[in-house]
Amino acid sequence: MDIDWTLAIIAALWAIILGGAGGALTEIGEWYRNLKKPSWQPPDWLFGPAWTVILGLSGWSLYLAYSKAQFFPDHILIAALFGVNFVLHLAWSPLFFKSKRPDWALFENVFLWLSVAALCFFLSGYSTVAAWLNAPYLAWVSFAFVLNWKIVQLNRPFGRTAVD
């Protein structure tokens, strides 16, 4: 099998930039430490390695699906799916950590989940493996939604009436 190195680099950069930017936008400061969290929340150190694996697999799926797509409109669709996912993935951390609005992040998480589900669904038309490589991403975002919901439940209200 011939490797399309340009595509491989683009797919790798997608994952590296997304993971790095997500990490840079995540502030584990006093506000976050003071939030009430459920006992079943994973330790903070686990999130970095988990996202590294998940985004690496998703980047690989980008490479596989794009490689199998034969027509320009298919390439546009795949690029759009990953582009929308990129933006939605990046939006969560600033909403939660910078704006200190877990409630807004919870709402945004619905759209992030839909974007990952769309990757699973649409990529299956190009590569079954590519679709399944996003299953851990979908599972983790589903778990993150429940965790985010519980944090909102335990700590509301947020915004002007909340104590920062």
- The domain ranges of the chain are 5-155
- Residues of the chain with pLDDT > 70, as a percent, come to 96
Asked if 131 and 61 count as a contact pair (C-beta separation under 8 A), the reply is yes
Q: How do residues 67-81 score in pLDDT, each as one tens digit?
A: 999 999 999 999 999
Q: In which band, very low, low, confident or very high, does the pLDDT at 161 lie, cut at 50, 70 and 90?
A: low
pLDDT of residue 28: 87
Give the CATH number of domain 5-155: 1.20.1260.100
pLDDT of residue 1: 66
Rounded Cα distance between 41 and 39, Å, is 6
The mean predicted confidence, pLDDT, of the chain is 94
pLDDT of residue 59: 97
Q: What are the pLDDT digits (tens) for 18-63?
A: 999 988 888 889 999 999 999 999 999 999 999 999 999 999 999 9
Q: Calculate the dihedral angle through the C-alpha atoms of 58, 63, 66, 68, rounding to the nearest 10 degrees.
A: -110
pTM for the model: 0.91
Long-range contacts of 87-96 (CB under 8 A, 24+ apart): 88/112, 88/115, 89/18, 89/22, 89/115, 90/18, 90/21, 90/22, 90/25, 92/22, 93/22, 93/25, 93/26, 94/25, 96/148
pLDDT for 2 equals 86
Distance CA(77)–CA(49), nearest Å, equals 29
Backbone angles phi, psi at 7, to 5 degrees: -65, -40
Band (pLDDT 50/70/90 cuts) for residue 160 is: low
Residue type at position 52: T
